[in-house]
Amino acid sequence: MQNLIRNFFIALSTNKFLNKKARKWGFRLGAEKFVAGTDIDSVTLTIKKMNEQGISCTVDNLGEFVSDKEEAGKAKRQIINMLEKIHQEKLDCHVSVKLTQLGLDIDRDFCLGNMREILDAATKYCIFINIDMEDYAHFQPTIDILKLLLKDYQNVGTVIQSYLRCAEEVLDKLKNVRIRIVKGAYKESPAVAFQCKTEIDQNFLKLAKKRLLGNTFTSIATHDHRIIRQLKKFIQENNIPKDRFEFQMLYGFRQEMQYELANEGYQMTTYMPFGRDWFGYYMRRLAERPQNINWLIKDVFRLTRKKLS
């Protein structure tokens, strides 16, 4: 049953019609619990609040699967504006981007050009740019663009998903690149991805431990307290410096644990999405954690009651 629910919400996340309609709705279905704002000013206030608690942030200007150059150009300008805001406000924050939002599905060179403009601005302000990993169809194109960018920029990295069977092989090839390790949030074929939670978790731990024993900064992105507990023990046993890694969690998830890790002296970063294109992101969060459906049910009930009153 859980797999059916997960597949249902992942299918919704890729529905272009619903994604487009959701831009006009404003936050609905409980999305405001997990999306940090609709624009740069509102997300800046949230970043400041997290920074005051000793927590760093990475912001994601929501939007993906863009098929229009004008829309991709607007996204690029929004990201550059966010970089300028981070610099002006002296925020403890870096930026995460999706290549499909910047034109990967339109033209690779166009997307590459947009990324270069973003990285030029980020380099000027000494801000790191993380390229989010999307579905498997975009996996190799993302790696290819990353490798091209690494020839000219040092402040760029990407994400490796532990549900991919090729994850360890690719991670080994990127041993000197800053990486965020996640479990993965898309529905993929058994030919390319593990389907069993136990296998995905085991691979996550394997990848994280391997990186922790290296010398390159790594972001360990999970809300799983069992995995975090095992990694904390591994870190202590191997005397791994806390400046070599950080824990990452999504905005709105396990907030108390985020504060606890920060108070224990670990580097803690909150992944903070913002913008009007919230629907696809939120549906994937529901797919990952079915208990979040409670927020959706409450919001639908509230809207229905409001219409009837």
Give the residue numbers annotated as catalytic, written as ranges. Answer: 132, 180
* Span 90-106, pLDDT tens digits: 999 999 999 999 999 99
In sequence order, which residues have a C-beta less than 8 Å from that of residue 276 and are 6 or more positions away? 22, 23, 38, 62
The Cα–Cα gap between 113 and 288 comes to 33
Query: What pLDDT score was predicted for residue 93?
Result: 98
Residues of the chain with pLDDT under 70: 1-32, 278-280, 282, 285-309
The Cα–Cα gap between 118 and 250 comes to 23
Q: How far does CA 305 lie from the centroid of its chain?
A: 34
Query: What pLDDT score was predicted for residue 218?
Result: 98
CATH class for the domain made up of 36-277: alpha beta
Structural domain boundaries in the chain: 36-277
Query: What pLDDT score was predicted for residue 35?
Result: 82
In sequence order, which residues have a C-beta less than 8 Å from that of residue 294 and are 6 or more positions away? 30
Query: What pLDDT score was predicted for residue 11?
Result: 59
Q: Average pLDDT, whole number, for the chain?
A: 87
* Span 166-189, pLDDT tens digits: 999 999 999 999 999 999 988 899
